């Protein structure tokens, strides 16, 4: 059998949001390489596996990407069943495709397994529908953090008619707010900031574009958090779809 690595999404945190396919991969894993954002509770599905932590949260102790690549390759070439477990979905701001490409280039078979991405889970847990007939015709998943610090096309985003779901935005609130206001988005546009989505410690801060920075500071918003910006962010677990539609 060819050497193979499974690139698996662990979901946003709640272990029950793991897919059956992810559980199947974990059950047969001999090596599981995990990121920081993976909830260790999901490791109950691979009690016999060797767990290798290769996390790298911004600013903290970090594992270089090349080291992760080589380690995956080494284990795979030893004939081990390797699962590379990533928070959320492996291909949403998760470098899943980079790792897959590198492995393919080195003759390793790769199987990608979806996970529920944090933006979707966070919105749903707060009662926010990311798309809504007549209100939001789509959803844009955006990272506020770029390698070269280039800025986003806020004009295009503000005019897109889509709900904006922003990842890695906690340290970039000022840029996001200024960019969207300058692009003509109303200061009254609802904003939901959701910390630790789907975990017992989940917190949500409801705000508006004009006040999001101050509200986040007063709330002591911390990473990991996602921002949902758009009319749909008016909805909540208490005030749901029907009220929003007829507001």
56 is catalytic: yes
Q: Does 179 bind ligand SAH (CB under 6 A)?
A: no
Q: Does 204 bind ligand SAH (CB under 6 A)?
A: no
Residue among 44, 5, 54, 39 at smallest CA distance from 23: 44
Counting other chains too, the contacts that 19-25 makes at CB distance below 8 Å and 24 or more residues apart are 19/113, 19/114, 19/115, 19/116, 21/113, 21/114, 22/85, 22/113, 22/115, 25/83, 25/111, 25/113
Sequence-separated (6 or more) residues with CB below 8 Å from residue 145? 58, 167, 168, 169, 171, 172
Q: Does 226 bind ligand SAH (CB under 6 A)?
A: yes
Distance from C-alpha of 126 to C-alpha of 202, rounded to nearest angstrom: 10
Measured CA to CA in angstroms, residue 136 lies from 37, 83, 179, 244 at distances of 29, 37, 20, 12
Beta bridge mates, 207: 191
193 is catalytic: no
Closest distance of CB 95 from ligand SAH, Å: 9
Closest distance of CB 90 from ligand SAH, Å: 7
Choosing from 33, 72, 168, 185, the catalytic residue is: 168
Q: Does 117 bind ligand SAH (CB under 6 A)?
A: yes
Closest distance of CB 197 from ligand SAH, Å: 3
Closest distance of CB 174 from ligand SAH, Å: 16
Among 13, 129, 179, 230, binds ligand SAH (CB under 6 A): 13
Residues 157-176 as x/- pattern, contact with ligand SAH by CB under 6 A: ----------xx--------
Nearer to ligand SAH, 3 or 205 (CB): 205
Contacts to ligand SAH from residues 57-96, by CB under 6 A: 86-89, 92-94
Sequence-separated (6 or more) residues with CB below 8 Å from residue 48? 30
Q: Does 123 bind ligand SAH (CB under 6 A)?
A: no
Contact range with ligand SAH by CB under 6 A, out of 16-24, 73-81, 152-160, 194-202: 194-202
Strand (E) positions, the chain?
A: 4-9, 31-34, 50-53, 82-86, 109-113, 139-143, 163-167, 190-195, 203-208, 225-229
Choosing from 33, 35, 86, 189, the catalytic residue is: 35
Q: Which residues bind ligand SAH (CB under 6 A)?
A: 12-13, 37, 86-89, 92-94, 117-118, 122, 167-168, 194, 196-199, 223-226
Catalytic residues: 35, 56, 168
């Amino acid at each position: 059998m060819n050497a193979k690595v499974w690139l698996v999404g662990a979901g946003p945190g709640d272990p029950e949001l793991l897919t059956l396919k992810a559980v199947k991969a974990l059950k047969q894993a001999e090596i599981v390489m995990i990121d920081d954002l993976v909830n260790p509770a999901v490791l109950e599905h691979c009690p016999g596996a060797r767990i290798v932590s290769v996390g790298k949260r911004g600013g903290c102790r970090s594992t270089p990407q090349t080291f992760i690549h080589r380690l995956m390759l080494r284990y795979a070439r030893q004939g081990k069943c390797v699962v590379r477990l990533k928070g959320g979905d492996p291909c949403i701001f998760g470098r899943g495709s980079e790792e897959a490409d590198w492995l393919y280039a080195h003759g390793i078979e790769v199987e990608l397994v979806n996970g529920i991405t944090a933006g979707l889970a966070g919105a749903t847990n707060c009662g926010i529908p990311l798309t809504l007939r007549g209100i939001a015709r789509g959803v844009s998943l955006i990272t506020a953090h770029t390698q070269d610090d280039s800025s986003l096309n806020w004009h295009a985003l503000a005019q897109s008619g889509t709900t904006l779901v922003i990842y890695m935005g906690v340290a970039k609130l000022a840029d996001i707010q200024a960019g969207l206001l300058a692009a003509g988005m109303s200061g009254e546009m609802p904003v939901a900031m959701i910390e630790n989505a789907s975990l017992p410690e989940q917190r949500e801060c409801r705000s508006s574009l004009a006040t999001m920075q101050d509200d986040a500071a007063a709330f002591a918003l911390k990473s990991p958090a996602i921002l949902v910006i758009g009319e749909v962010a008016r909805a909540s677990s208490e005030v749901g779809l029907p009220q929003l539609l007829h507001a």
